[in-house]
Amino acid sequence: MRYFTNFAAVGTLSVIAGCLGLLSNTARAEEPHAKSIKIYNTYCVQCHGVNRDGNGMNSKSMSVKPRDHTDSKAMGDTPDDTLFKAIKEGGLSVTKSVLMPKWGGVLNDGQIKEMVAYLRFVSKTGGQ
């Protein structure tokens, strides 16, 4: 019985260590995007959602659903320069929703480029 208890404890510790390792890997993967995550959480999450899926708290009352940034197909079909322009100049500048505001007065070009890279990370798509 003593062997079983020790074995169970070691097994439990291995599972915990494995979970911590996964969390650590996720944190390391997000590290280069830390500034963009903060910006996204400040300005974008209300519409695009905490899960980045277009289901933010404001989306329920919007006539056009915000872009799902986790949608690899839709995001992969959108070139980087279009994403950049949509963020900087608003949705209308790329024939999208008027509800997407212009962020060029709030974010500089470097921050917008970093946001585009972050959106590629979120959507698991490469740059275009």
Q: Which residues contact 43 (CB under 8 A, 6 or more apart)?
A: 103, 106
The Cα–Cα gap between 78 and 89 comes to 16
Angle at 88 between CA 84 and CA 89, to 5 degrees: 115
Tens-place pLDDT, residues 33-88? 999 999 999 999 999 999 999 999 999 999 999 999 999 999 999 999 999 999 99
Residues of the chain with pLDDT > 90, as a percent, come to 73
The Cα–Cα gap between 125 and 107 comes to 23
Please state, in angstroms and as integers, the Cα–Cα distance from residue 11 to each residue in 25, 48, 55, 99, following that order: 21, 40, 39, 51
